[in-house]
Amino acid sequence: MHKRSCFCIFLLIISSFSISVSAQELAFVPAARPINHIVAVVNEDVVTRQELDEAIKMTVARLQQQGMRIPEQQALENQVLESVITKHIQLQHAKEVGLSVAESEVDETIQRIAEDNKLSLPEFYAALENEGVSYGKFREEIRDEMIMTRLKDREVKNQVNVTEGEVDNYLQTQEASSDGQEEFRLAHIMVLVTENMNSSQIEQRAERAEMALAKLKEGTDFAQVAAEFSDAADAKTGGIIEWRPVAQLGPSFAQLLESMQLDEITPVIQSPNGFHIFKLLGRRAQEVPTVIIDQTHTRHILIKINELTSENEGKQKILAIKERLDNGENFEEVAKLYSEDSSASAGGDLGWLSPGDTVPDFERTMNELLPGQISEPVRTQFGWHLIQVLERRSQDISLDRRRQAARHAIRTRKADVVIQEWLRQLRDQAYVEYRLDEEL
């Protein structure tokens, strides 16, 4: 039972593939139509009614799994169609730029998914069958998700940079703010504004946001209003923003969130990228645990194995160097003369190493050495090594972890803006023709 429930939870993160649905779910899904019926044209590609129906089924299943109310059918259909169109545009762009995913990478991802759900591959395939999902369709969805993730990562890598000064400011803001150590779980609605909009268009977007707020004040379910009005990618799943430090949401929201009560809804808030409405779903103290790890100050000498140095030649070289060290020659000087690693100029000094910083064979040998002791030759994927441990210590890396978390939070906030703008530009450049009305 546990395995099955874990698997179902995973299935709900896949964007669109057919699953068996209950009679209750079918009430929100349009009747089946011929497979060749086209509901939208996306550049030279098409979206069929069957593809849209499958995506709607998946969305309904996800909303029900999360205990959320299903939006009105027309709003849900329109929102899901936009999501499918955006997916087509991204995959077309990936093809244009030559981005693909190797079959072996898809295999590794599926293997990892099975392991995460504590299933062997045969059990995983059987679970797919029980859910009415063909293995081929599942592979296709996994491949598509991997491609779209890499596309977004590429855009973020090209455009998002986090400086040490930004990290310092983030941490200082957290320390100075009474709510800096809190995390918030929110639902949100975003009405997008782009830089090329004129004042009249921006005013129309502001009115749209006010219309959404009016519906919320009338008591309409937040998820339903998000599905109808929000331009955010998560609109059709209720606009949920899982636990985030307030600083990750941006300084303009910090003061507002501090005074809010659970289930309270904000007024319309304007930011550079649009108009926002938030609902506070939860708040909690952000834990900053003390992290103590064992570190080793290490140096080494490396002889690489390549087209110029054979396996046997490399081993003979490292044995000759070991003999010189055994006869009393200085490790630092010998490393400067003979090591083929970038650390050679520093006498082979690798500094303080934490667990996981090096490959397993290197780390295992290093951990077995006493301070001052020199290892026997060790073969890794990089070549032949001689390792010497200089000293060991237990180190509190809490501050390092805090800086990592701050860097991640800043990067995530910047990435959200970059991805929204990138998707908007892709959408603006695409030819999209809607044909839903032709069904009537």
Q: Are residues 107 and 133 in the same domain?
A: yes
Q: Are residues 116 and 234 in the same domain?
A: no
* pLDDT tens sequence across 89-143: 999 999 999 998 888 889 989 988 888 888 898 999 888 888 777 888 889 989 9
Evaluate if pTM is beyond 0.85.
no
pLDDT category at 237 given cuts 50, 70, 90 is confident
Q: Are residues 43 and 81 in the same domain?
A: yes
For residue 128, the 8-state DSSP code is H
Give the structural domain span for 314: 292-395
Query: Rg of the chain over CA atoms, in angstroms?
Result: 28
pLDDT at 325: 96
Q: Are residues 332 and 372 in the same domain?
A: yes
End-to-end CA distance of the chain: 44
Q: Are residues 202 and 145 in the same domain?
A: no
3-state secondary structure of 208: helix
Tokens of 44: 């030279």
User: What are the strands of the beta sheet with 432-434, ordered from one edge?
Assistant: 45-48, 38-42, 432-434
Cα separation of 246 and 255, whole Å? Answer: 9
3-state secondary structure of 43: coil
The answer as to whether 440 is a domain residue is no
pLDDT at 14: 42
Q: Are residues 349 and 390 in the same domain?
A: yes
CATH number of the domain residue 89 falls in: 1.10.4030.10
Cα separation of 352 and 298, whole Å? Answer: 7
The answer as to whether 439 is a domain residue is no
Last residue of a domain, one of 126, 159, 192: 159
* pLDDT tens sequence across 142-172: 999 999 999 998 888 888 999 999 988 888 7
Q: Are residues 111 and 220 in the same domain?
A: no
> Between 331-338 and 311-326, two packed helices, what is the crossing angle to 10 degrees?
150
* Long-range contacts of 319-327, Cβ-Cβ distance < 8 Å, separation of 24 or more: 319/377, 321/386, 322/374, 322/376, 322/377, 322/386, 325/374, 325/386, 326/374
The answer as to whether 255 is a domain residue is yes
Q: Are residues 242 and 383 in the same domain?
A: no
The answer as to whether 127 is a domain residue is yes
Q: Are residues 214 and 259 in the same domain?
A: yes
In this model, does residue 243 exceed pLDDT 70?
Answer: yes
In this model, does residue 249 exceed pLDDT 90?
Answer: no
The answer as to whether 28 is a domain residue is yes
Q: Are residues 173 and 185 in the same domain?
A: yes
CATH number of the domain residue 217 falls in: 3.10.50.40
The answer as to whether 154 is a domain residue is yes
Q: Are residues 30 and 152 in the same domain?
A: yes
pLDDT at 380: 92
The answer as to whether 139 is a domain residue is yes
Last residue of a domain, one of 108, 130, 159: 159
Domains contained in the chain, number: 3
Q: What's the mean per-residue pLDDT of the chain?
A: 83
The answer as to whether 244 is a domain residue is yes
Q: Are residues 378 and 415 in the same domain?
A: no
